[in-house]
Structures are given as structure tokens and as C-alpha cells.
Amino acid sequence: MKRPNDPSAPAKALYNWYPGHMAKALREIKQKLKMVDIVLEIRDARVPLASSNRAMNESLGEKPKLIIFNKLNLADSQIVDRWIEWFDKQNEHYVFVNCFDKPSLKKVISQARKIVEKNRKDCNPDYLETKTKMKMMIVGLPNTGKSTIINQMASKSAAKVADKPGQTQVQQWINVENGIELLDTPGIMPPLIEKEEHGLWLSAIHAIPDDIAGEDNVGTFVIRHLLSIKSQDFLDRFKLDSADISLDDALKKIATVRGCLLPGGIPDLNRVYKLVLAEFRKGDLGKTCFGVPPKS
């Protein structure tokens, strides 16, 4: 594994994580495509573009697709509004949700059904709306909440979920009421992450395991980011008086406030990075987004 402090590591390679089960999962997605009416692509509302996967999307061909930007409850609502304005100009079906909110998930299902019915009519002008069967394949990057969405839609714990990327490793069909069948698939990373910044964003939201880029690298990035946006939740939680402090001072203060100290009062940085990442991912350090919509 290439570590961030390894000078021989090319920046692009640092964040690449493409274990064997992902290549297999992509092949299986292509095989099952014919069986489904629609693909739900799950992305993370905090990283709306970089949490997509161009290689995977290309293999979906012309299949109707609905993009779900999940984890809305962790995202900065002002930046989300800018993304909504931007996505309204793109030719794609999309919705932002917190999947633990049942009414918004119901809307997702009815939006998917509309897309499916329109597609059926477009393919066959004599088609009469049936409102019966609908098969949906759920795809996306690891840890974006695919299995959780399925469980929420099915109102049961049918698919295993975990707060770590790579939980689902095999496909699984799950039946929902009203003739809906959902296909859970393993999270798939793009084979190559082109920009270092995207690698950091995806590590911060835990689409990439921490041991790929290193907790120190990801933890440092998250602290710098929270200081740069002057997150009040972050400042309050660690009793920081101001965001205009150095990274070192922030690390020392967090270590002191949380008692992460080695003998002699030296900050235990490994513990600090771990706790910052855990609390950030729970949303305890404020709602945030990485990046803003492109100008064009």
C-alpha cells in the first residue's frame, strides 16, 4: 500500500481501491441489466459528482436511471440548493434524500415508477399502465447507503449494512410490497481516481477505507476542511475559540479536550484522527459538502 508520506507514491495512485469483488460485481451488473426496469444510482449528497462512477455508468447503456443523492441530513443545505439548481439544467432524473425519512423514500418509489411507466409507453405506444411489477437495481460507490435504502424501502433488515465500505460483496434480490423487487449490489469504485482532491473527499465520506490513504491523511484533511468552512459545530464540540488557528494547535486542543494524551502529555494523534473521523461521519461536526457545482 502506498502511504501519503511515501514520496515515491504518485498522487493519483494513493486513493485507488479496486478489490477483485468489484470487477466481478461490475460484470454481474451488466449481466442482470436486462432483467430490471430501472437503475437507482446512489450517490452521496455531500459529493454529488465525485461520488459517481463513469465506468459503471457507461455500462448501464440506455437503461432508465434515477440518481439518488443520499445522506442529505449530513450535507450543507445551502450548497445542496446550488447543486439542485445545477442538476435542474442537466438531462437526468435525480432526487436528494435522507433515506431514514420514510415519506421521501415513498416519493423516490413513485418517481421511479413514473420513469418506468414512461419508458414502457415510449417503447410500446399501445402499453397500458399496469402499476404492477417493477424491478430496480441499486448501484453506487461503497458506503453510499444502498443496502440501507433497500431495507428502508422493504421495511425490514433484509440486506446487511455497516458503517464501512465494502460491506455488500454479492448481489441479493429483495421483495418489497406492491410488486417491487430490488437488487442490492456491491459498491463499486472507479478503477482510477484522477484527482487527489476527489480521493480525499471520498475517503472523508468513507467510500474508501481509511487504511488506503491513511487515517492521518484523511483526518488532517477533514480538520483542515472544517476549519476552512469555520464549522461552528466543530468549534463548539472541541471547545475551539476560533477557526483561525493552525492545524497543530487544533490537534493539540482536540487531544487535550478529549484526553487523547500519551505519557508526558503528548497528543495521541492516532486517537485524535480516529475520533474526528468517526464524529465527522456521524454528522456531529456539522453538515458539510465537498466541492461546489461547476461553472458551466
The site for ligand GTP (CB under 6 A) is made up of 70-71, 73-74, 98-100, 140, 142-148, 161-163, 165-168, 186-187, 283
**Cβ-based nearer residue to Mg ion, 147 or 288:** 147
Q: Which of 178, 152, 115, 146 is nearest to 44 (CA)?
A: 146
Restricting to residues 153-192, name those near Mg ion by CB under 5 A: 167-168
DSSP 84-108: HHHHTTSS-EEEE--TT-HHHHHHH
Q: Which of 70, 46, 13 is nearest to 187 (CA)?
A: 70
Whether the Cβ atoms of residue 54 and residue 62 lie closer than 8 Å to each other = no
In whole angstroms, what is the distance from residue 222 CA to residue 58 CA?
31
**Cβ-based nearer residue to ligand GTP, 143 or 231:** 143
Question: 122 touches which of ligand GTP, Mg ion, none (CB within 5 to 8 A by kind)?
Answer: none
Task: Give min distance, CB of 163 to Mg ion, in A.
Answer: 11
Whether the Cβ atoms of residue 82 and residue 76 lie closer than 8 Å to each other = no
Amino acid, single-letter form, for residue 174:
I
**Cβ-based nearer residue to ligand GTP, 163 or 194:** 163
Should residue 147 be labelled a site residue for Mg ion when binding is judged by CB under 5 A?
yes
Task: Give min distance, CB of 141 to ligand GTP, in A.
Answer: 7
Task: Give min distance, CB of 209 to ligand GTP, in A.
Answer: 10
In whole angstroms, what is the distance from residue 247 CA to residue 84 CA?
33
- Tell me the three cell numbers of residue 186: 456491491
Task: Give min distance, CB of 98 to ligand GTP, in A.
Answer: 4
In whole angstroms, what is the distance from residue 247 CA to residue 80 CA?
28
Task: Give min distance, CB of 151 to ligand GTP, in A.
Answer: 7
Candidate segments 143-151, 202-210, 246-254, 268-276, binder of Mg ion by CB under 5 A: 143-151
- Tell me the three cell numbers of residue 272: 485524535
Q: Sketch the per residue contact string, 32 through 71, with Mg ion: x for CB under 5 A, - otherwise.
A: ----------------------------------------
Q: What's the half-sphere exposure (Cβ side, CA atoms, 13 Å) at 103? A: 0
Footprint on this chain of Mg ion (rule: CB under 5 A): 146-147, 167-168
